Amino acid sequence: MKLVITENQLRGIVGEMSIRAHHGGHRDFDKFETDKIGTGESTQIYGWGLYFSDRESVAHSYAISVPDAKNLELKYNPELKYKGKIIKNLNFIIGITRDFYKGVGYIYGDGNFIKDTLYDNVVKNLHITIINYLRGKYGDNSRWEDYIPTKQRLVDLVKNKYKEFLNNIENNLDYEINHTYNSDDGEINRLREKLDKEKKRYEDFINGRLTEENKIIDVISNLKREDFSLTSDDDLQKHGYVYDVTLHKNKTPDQYDYLSWPDYLTSNQKQKIINQIKTEKLKKRNFYIANPGVESTVQPAFFHSYEQAKDWVKHQNIKNSTGFGISMFNYTVEKGTFTKEDLNKTVGEFYIQLSGLLGSQKNASMFLLRAGIDGNKNFDTHVVFDPNAVTIEKKNKVDL
C-alpha cells in the first residue's frame, strides 16, 4: 500500500522537526539581533550567541529576574540625564564638546588657566553633586541653588586662583633673577612674557572681555533643575517578556548543526572546522587568557600579549574589589596555543582555545557559523549564532 502525505501534513512534520524554544528578558522587540548580546543577566557561559531554553519556565524566570536586576542597578546606581540624554560628566560646560560653542572644542590641559580652574574646582565633580541632589542625599529641605555655584562665587573663585597663579610666576621670576647662580636670560624673558600675558588675561576676565570664559561661568551658574533627571526616574521597568520561538523553521535536523558543550566534536564537525581553518588560512599563534577562576561563571578574556592581559587583570581586580582589598575573582593569566590537538578536547575546552586564537568568543562563534555550525547546545539550552535562524511565534508580557 502506498502512503500518501499531503503538503500540509509534510509541512507539519517538518515544523515538528524544527526546534521549539523560549527566551526571557527585559526588552520588547520584534526580531532578535546580536548587538545587545552580553547586556542581560546571562554570563554567556556556553559561548557568544543568543540564548534559548527548551523549558518555558526557565525563560519566564529570566523575564522576571533580568528586569528586576536592571531596576536595582538603576535604583542604586542611576545615570544622569541632561535634557533627556544620558551624560557621563558635565564637560560640555567648558567646551570639551561643542554643545554650547561653535568652533573647535576646548581640550582640558591646553594651558587656559581659567578653564582649567573651572574644570578642576567645579565641573569635574559637579555631575556627582547633581546626582546626589536628585537622589535626595542632601535632605528634603535642600535647595538646588545651594549646590550650583552662583556667578559671583565662580568669578571670585577664578580671581583668587588667578592671584595665586600670578604670585607663583612672580616668585619664580624673582628667584631666577636674584637667587640663581648664572641666571638664564632666556628663562627670565620667558617668565616675564608669561607674567605680562597672564596679567592682561586676568584684566580682560575682570572687565568681561574674555567672552568665552565668561559665557562658561554663565552656563554653570544658570544650570536648571528641570533640565536634569536620573535614569531611575523614568526608566524603571514594569514588565518582562517571554518569547516563544522556532529555531531553523522549516528545516530538518540534517540542515542544522550544534556543538554539544560537554561532549566532543563529531568527525563531521571536525572536518567542517578544519576546512574553514584552511579557507581562512589561520595560523598557529600564542595568546593569553585572563581566567577568573575555575568556579566562576564569568567568562575569560583573551589577549595577544602578556602585558595586555596583565594590565587588564590588574584593572579588573581593582574594579571588582569588595572594598576590603579582596578581589571578587581570582584572575590568573595563562598562556595558550591553538593546535589541531584542541579538536580532540571537549567542546567547551575547544571553544575557549578557539576564542583565544581569534581574540574573542564572538569571533569564535562567527568563525563556527562560517564553518556551517549553527550554535552550541548544553542539555536544554541552545546558543544560536545567527539571529536569522530565529522566528518569533509569540511574545508574552510578564508583569513584575
pTM: 0.66
76-80, 261-265, 268-272, 379-383: segment of lowest average pLDDT: 76-80
Kindly report, residue by residue over 177-196, the tens digit of the pLDDT: 887 666 677 888 888 899 99
Closest CA to 350 of 338, 360, 366, 367: 338
Kindly report, residue by residue over 87-122, the tens digit of the pLDDT: 989 988 887 643 333 444 455 545 688 988 999 999
Q: With helix as H, strand as E and coil as C, how does the chain read? A: CCCCCCHHHHHHHHHHHCEEEEEEECCCCCCCCCCCCCCCCCCCCCCCCEEEECCHHHHHHHHHHHHHHHHHHHHHCCCEEECCEEECCCHHHHCCCCCCCCCCCCCCCCCCHHHHHHHHHHHHHHHHHHHHHHCCCCCCCCCHHHCCCCHHHHHHHHHHHHHHHHHHHHHHHHHHHHCCCCCCHHHHHHHHHHHHHHHHHHHHHHCCCCHHHHHHHHHHHCCCHHHEEEHHHHCCCCEEEEEEEEECCCCCHHHCCEEECCCECCHHHHHHHHHHHHHHCCCCCEEEEEECCCCCCCCCEEECCHHHHHHHHHHHHHHCECCCCCECCCCEEEEEECCHHHHHCEHHHHHHHHHHHHCCHHHHHHHHHHCCCCEEEECCEEEECCHHHEEEEEEEEEEC
Contact between 157 and 122 (Cβ < 8 Å)? yes
Mean local confidence (pLDDT), 228-247: 89
Mean local confidence (pLDDT), 226-234: 88
Q: Which of 312 and 138 is assigned the larger pLDDT?
A: 138
**Residue 322 in this model has a pLDDT that exceeds 90:** no
Residue 175: what pLDDT? 86
**Residue 163 in this model has a pLDDT that exceeds 60:** yes
| Domain limits, the chain | 81-134+149-222
Contact between 376 and 347 (Cβ < 8 Å)? yes
Residue 97: what pLDDT? 47
Closest CA to 154 of 117, 124, 126: 117
- Mean residue pLDDT of the chain comes to 85
Residue 94: what pLDDT? 82
Q: Which of 284 and 16 is assigned the larger pLDDT?
A: 284
Cell for 371? 564553518
Kindly report, residue by residue over 328-380, the tens digit of the pLDDT: 567 788 888 888 899 999 999 999 999 999 999 999 999 999 999 999 999 99
**Residue 80 in this model has a pLDDT that exceeds 60:** yes
Closest CA to 39 of 48, 242, 293: 48
**Residue 327 in this model has a pLDDT that exceeds 70:** no
Residue 166: what pLDDT? 92
**Residue 321 in this model has a pLDDT that exceeds 60:** no
User: How far apart are alpha carbons 176 and 191 in whole angstroms?
Assistant: 9
Residue 6: what pLDDT? 52
Residue 95: what pLDDT? 77
- Per-residue pLDDT band at 312 (split at 50, 70, 90): confident
Mean local confidence (pLDDT), 215-228: 94
Residue 181: what pLDDT? 65
Kindly report, residue by residue over 39-60, the tens digit of the pLDDT: 655 578 899 999 999 999 999 9
Quick one: what percent of the chain has pLDDT higher than 70?
85
Residue 217: what pLDDT? 93
Residue 32: what pLDDT? 95
Q: Which of 277 and 106 is assigned the larger pLDDT?
A: 277
Ramachandran assignment for 104, one of left (phi > 0), alpha (psi -120 to 50 degrees), beta (any other): beta
- Per-residue pLDDT band at 320 (split at 50, 70, 90): low
Residue 188: what pLDDT? 86
- Per-residue pLDDT band at 265 (split at 50, 70, 90): very high
